[in-house]
Structure formats: structure tokens, C-alpha cells
Amino acid sequence: MQAEVREQALRRLKILQGQLAALERQVEEDRYCMEVLDLSMSIQKALRSLDTLVIENHLRTHVVEQVSGGETDKAVRELLRLYKVQGPADT
């Protein structure tokens, strides 16, 4: 992972840790369902943003190296695996 991307990812993860702790507190305190859902959805959006950051890094580094190094099949297998797990993008 590129150093700048790693730093961005770590920064986002620290924010996510705080959000998860806050979500746990909300549940423990039996907060209003909509408050819990708002924070939960915010966390999910932040995780998708982190995924996008890591995927972009993978495409710009590893996939480019794999294709230019003749490992096109490996690159395709990895991307298909990700697609099967993630599914198509929301429209």
C-alpha cells in the first residue's frame, strides 16, 4: 500500500473506532432507534469509503504491476473475487 494511502486508511480507521465506540454506548444507553441507525449507517458509509480508497490503491499499484508483468489472469481473478463478495455498485 502506498504510504499516503496507508496514512489515510489509518486515519479513517481511528475515526471508525470512535464511531463504533459511540454506537456501542448508544445501544447500551438504549438510545432512540433512529439515532442508533443514523450512526450505524454513517459507519457503514465510512467503511465503504475506506474500501474505495484501498481498492483504488490496489488498482493503481498491484493490478497495474500484475498486468504489465503478464499476470493478467491473476488480476482478473482477484477483481472477480472482490466483485462476487461486494456485488455490483448501488445505482
> What is the number of structural domains in the chain?
1
- SS3 (DSSP) at 14: helix
Establish if 30 belongs to a structural domain.
Answer: yes
Contacts of 19 (CB under 8 A, 6+ apart): 39, 42, 43, 46
**How far is CA 10 from each of CA 1, 7, 54, 79, rounded to the nearest angstrom?**
12, 5, 11, 23
Q: For position 77, which CATH number holds?
A: 1.20.58.1000
C-alpha grid cell for residue 14? 481511528
**pTM for this prediction:** 0.82
Q: For position 91, what pLDDT does the model report?
A: 46
Residue 19 lies in a domain: yes
Whether 91 is covered by a domain: the verdict is no
From first to last of the 91 residues of the chain, give the pLDDT tens digit.
999 999 999 999 999 999 999 999 999 999 999 999 999 999 999 999 999 999 999 999 999 999 999 999 999 999 999 888 876 665 4
**CA gyration radius for the chain?**
17
Sign of CA dihedral 64, 66, 70, 75: negative
Query: What domain range is 23 assigned to?
Result: 3-86
